Amino acid sequence: QGVHYILVRKTEQVKAIWNAIGQEKKFIRAPMFIIGIISVEGSGTNKNGEKYYAVDFGICFEHLILAATAEGLATCWIGYFNEKMVKEILKIPEKYKVMGLTPLGYSTKLKGEVTDRKPLSEIVHYEKF
Q: First vs last Cα of the chain: how many Å apart?
A: 35
Residue 60 confidence class, pLDDT cut points 50, 70, 90: very high
Q: Which residue has the higher pLDDT, 29 or 53?
A: 53
Sequence letter at residue 122: E
The reported pLDDT for the residue numbered 28 is 67
The reported pLDDT for the residue numbered 65 is 96
Full set of structural domains in the chain with CATH:
3-123 (3.40.109.10)
User: For residue 27, how many other CB atoms are within 10 A of its CB?
Assistant: 20
% of the chain exceeding 70 in pLDDT: 93
Does residue 64 surpass a pLDDT of 80? yes
Does residue 109 surpass a pLDDT of 80? no
| Mean pLDDT over the full length of the chain | 89
**pTM score over 0.85:** no
Distance, CA of 57 to CA of 20 (rounded, Å): 21
Distance, CA of 52 to CA of 38 (rounded, Å): 11
Does residue 87 surpass a pLDDT of 70? yes
The reported pLDDT for the residue numbered 114 is 67
Query: What is the strand order of the sheet 32-39 is part of?
Result: 3-8, 32-39, 96-105, 74-75
Total residues found in the chain within this entry = 129
Does residue 15 surpass a pLDDT of 80? yes
The reported pLDDT for the residue numbered 115 is 74
